[in-house]
Chain A
Amino acid sequence: MNHTSDRFIDNSRAALANPVLQAALANLKRGFPINRAEVVADLPEFEELRNVARDIKDHTLDHLDVYLEIYERNVRASGGKVHWARNAKEARDTIMRICRDAGARTVTKGKSMVVEEIGLNEALDASEIRRVETDLGEYIIQLRDEPPSHIIVPAVHVTKEEIGDAFREAHEGLDPTRALSEPADITAEARTRLREAYFSAEVGITGANFLVAESGSSIIVTNEGNGDLTQTLARTHVVVASLEKIVPTMEDAFAILRLLARSSTGQEFSVYTSVSNGPKRSDDLDGPKAYHVVLVDNGRSSMLGTNQQDMLRCIQCAACINHCPVYSAVGGHAYGWIYPGPMGAVLTPSLTNIAASAHLPNASTFCGQCEQVCPMKIPLIKMMRHHRNSAHQQGHGGKVSKFALFFWSYFAGRPALYRTLTGIGVGVLAALAIGRGRLKSLPLVGGWTANRDLPAPEGGTFLTRYRRGER
């Protein structure tokens, strides 16, 4: 997809002025974080498991070459093929070749961020092959020809009315009197339409949440069951995964799985955790006849051994996104690439280039919520600082301050919003605002406010309300 991270400020302005998007983001804020808090409270071992998970991934990354070799050996042993791709183009070319060799006319796809990352959708759409997204959210944005705005709920910015309209436009033969106003109607219509695709697809492409070295298995975690239909019913199953998805054993995967759904959607476990191992066996009654894995590097091997290595622990749960006040204010599209929120602010500059995404590491109020909820204990704030420093050294500093000012003034003008979004206590903000309606500093851009004193337009009102004990 096109990269518009360099337009972050303009993107953000537009997002803040879009009432539909603001309502959707408010929904998001009320959903996942609350569910997460409940299930985390229900698992006393949660904190200790975060340490365990961090250590498993650190061990794996430190020996990544060995575990990849063992993984490859075991995929082969179960009859699958492993393909290696250094960059997006190699990955796309490999997958397109597999599709053509399989005689693909229809390709079904499960949700996968790395597949978005390598730009496979554009390659498929430019070919004669029909691409059918099977994750409901992905299907919706495919019909609307939009990029995802969240890594777990890609169509979070779309209203049900807009979905109904998109279905009416795209679904030939749809009875015009048929109701499509409620989520249940829409879900039923999607179910009917996609069923045909699962059964006709020659190739099914999925991502992987884990690749297991000990057995050469791939694991996908979903709620809809679309990934399972995709990988079970197509004649050829292609797994696309980035290198860091490897874990040594199933025990390692289980430890991290205990954190994944809880951190992500606030479920104790996702509906489907499916472990796949090679193609259909001789006595199996179903399953794909061919099983391919495309291992994508695309810049990750170079992050090892640097101050960006910790980011390779990311399991893409989106907890940092769901708890981020900046994401909650501007949504995913503002970030200009597929990875939004704090994880995107760290990952995008590593995977793309610092100049185009120089704003992103500043898309933070440095409130620290992301780090507190990250199940893999990734020091997101510190890593954003590293990127900011590199951007500064490379001469992108001007943009950086402009960005900081934009966000600073946005939140300074809305202390109540800032407080709600970040959960930072009223008292803290009140202390920061020190009377005269001016904010001396905000845990936002440390150095920036040190020698500047900016007006806080609603500070007075806010403080008055605070004194009256209103919240």
Chain B
Amino acid sequence: MGGHIKGVDLIDAYRDPGLASRLFECARMRSLTAAERLGRVPVIMDVCGTHTAVISSAGVRTALSGYVEFRSGPGCPVCVTSAGDVDLAVQMARIPGVCVTTFGDMMRVPGSSTSLQEETAQGARVKVVSSPSSAVAYASAHPDVEVVFLGVGFETTAPVVALSIAEAKSKRIPNYTVLCLHKLMPPVLDVLVREPGVTLDGLLLPGHVCSITGRAVFDFLAREYRMPSVVAGFEVVDVLMATCWILHMIAERSPKVANVYRRVVRETGNQKAKDVIDKYFRPIDSAWRGFGLIPRSGLQIKEKYLRFDAMHRFTPDLPDSTDKPECHCGDVLRGRIRPSDCTAFGTVCTPVKPLGPCMVSQEGACAAHFRYGA
């Protein structure tokens, strides 16, 4: 497959400034027709923190300002994690003998009153790892420590965490468990597009979630809601191709769920990864920041593997959790307001002293707007 084509050249081609500038021009032209049809500037939402970051850092937001408005939806896993789930992680870290292992992004996310980072200062054991497999290795090397991995993330991350359970099982590592907080993308999009009072004309679908789920599961967006949607990769050319196509669909009144990331995303996704998710997890109702409880939008460890479920092993008290009233992350994640519409934005809430998760995570909408200008 691919034969003589070199991968580095292909990566360069998707970063080519010449092609990007022609696509910018195309997006501006298409946006005029789309705007004429809508009677206002088209609003396109991304649902992936990496898209949010690229749209800001590659200058897409600025270059298309006045032509397209980009908003960020519930696509940053750290941001959509509810205060209650953060509190639960904190509870785990406080249990004597437990070491919570996590991707770095979760450390500073505020729960009701504290974050994992603040807890480490109080003596809780929290360790940042780059992969679930390294958390398993840590458990294997420290048999006297109960290692709990925070399973946060969408369909992209869930199979990798499932594999860590498989690894702990096959290597007979008794002191490894997962606090499973995984979330699923199709159910939240189904809620998002039906939200009353939200202006939304097109969706950039998250390439790496789709690499697992496939493109076809998102067909309902066009079929049931007439929402133009395009699966996109993460180079500037990927994002611009998707933007042009969405604008074209708006202008032509021909919504579809298209895919410009076919080099990675297949129609039905990655069967091996879907099988491994099905083997270890089952769908469960899950609480999202900003959205509340969404039916069957999260994952839970199956009965058969309960001994790897941290909730089962430690049965922590469920915390009484509240979101900070002055933070409007919920409205940002639902596309109701822009980060700059929040009264705390850039004043009491900055990346140095963040109030909400959307300002903590590098991929959060508020952080991206702050760093690259709203």
A-B interaction: no
Q: Which residues of B contact A (CB under 8 A)?
A: none
